[in-house]
């Protein structure tokens, strides 16, 4: 898995938290380098996932007319309340998975909080999240794109959980 694998789908304006008792919508942009398929899907994954099979729930993507040559195309995925995670002490992220099972985009982390608990501070008080952002050049579009590395850490544990993905830029490898 290389850094460029995650650059085909960009998730837009993902808040720090969502209310747990309502349906949620996420907006994402398909870049020109991705040819959508009717078997592509967007899933909600607990941060720390390691394969596309680690999803909590998913929805099929909207049928897309041929977008090749159109540049970027904005789409939405709607997740019904009933299927959302109930665990409010975990961080999650949206991932776009193509018909071959490859993750083509991942959002910034978010959590689920009741409306009265929501603030700009982020999520659960016993959890920290270190986000490292770097810019890479998308060789297909020639544009710089932010790549995020997530390191969730529980203050009450001496063990740090695994990161979402760690990439070696330049070699395209992962650790």
Q: How far apart are CA 47 and CA 131, in angstroms?
A: 12
Angle formed at CA 133 by CA 129 and CA 136, multiple of 5 degrees:
150
Query: Comparing 44-58, 141-155, 156-170, which segment has the lowest mean pLDDT?
Result: 156-170
Q: Give the pLDDT confidence score for residue 68 in this predicted structure.
A: 56
Q: How far, in Å, are 73, 92, 108, 109, 161 from residue 16 at the CA level?
A: 24, 10, 8, 7, 19
CA nearest neighbour of 35 among 3, 12, 62, 64: 64
Question: Which residues sit opposite 96 in a β-bridge?
Answer: 42, 105
Q: Give the pLDDT confidence score for residue 175 in this predicted structure.
A: 38
84-140 pLDDT per residue, tens:
998 888 999 999 999 999 999 999 999 998 766 544 444 555 455 555 544 444 555
Q: Where are the domains of the chain?
A: 3-174
Asked whether the whole model's pTM tops 0.85, one would answer no
Domain 3-174 sits in CATH 3.30.1360.20 = no
Residue with the bigger pLDDT between 50 and 164: it is 50
> Tokens 């109930």 — which residue?
86
Residue 158 confidence class, pLDDT cut points 50, 70, 90: very low
34-89 pLDDT per residue, tens:
888 999 999 999 999 999 999 999 999 987 665 555 678 899 999 999 999 988 88
φ and ψ at residue 33, rounded to 5 degrees: -80, -5
- 87-121 burial, b at 16+ Cβ within 10 Å, e below that, comes to eeebbbbbbbbbeeeebbbbbbbbbbbeeebbeee
């Amino acid at each position: 898995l290389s850094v460029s694998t995650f650059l085909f789908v960009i998730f837009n304006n993902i808040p720090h938290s969502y209310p747990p008792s309502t349906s949620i919508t996420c907006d994402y942009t398909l870049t020109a380098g991705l040819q959508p398929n009717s078997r592509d899907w967007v899933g909600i994954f607990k941060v720390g996932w390691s394969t596309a099979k680690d999803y909590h729930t998913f929805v099929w993507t909207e049928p897309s007319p041929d977008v090749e040559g159109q540049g970027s195309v904005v789409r939405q995925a709607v997740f019904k309340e009933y299927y959302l995670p109930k665990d409010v002490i975990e961080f999650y992220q949206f991932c776009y998975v193509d018909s071959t099972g490859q993750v083509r985009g991942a959002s910034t982390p978010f959590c689920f909080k009741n409306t009265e608990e929501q603030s700009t501070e982020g999520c659960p008080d016993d959890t920290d999240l270190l986000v490292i952002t770097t810019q890479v050049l998308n060789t297909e579009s020639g544009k710089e794109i932010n790549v995020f590395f997530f390191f969730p850490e529980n203050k009450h544990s001496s063990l740090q959980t695994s990161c979402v993905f760690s990439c070696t830029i330049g070699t395209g490898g992962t650790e």
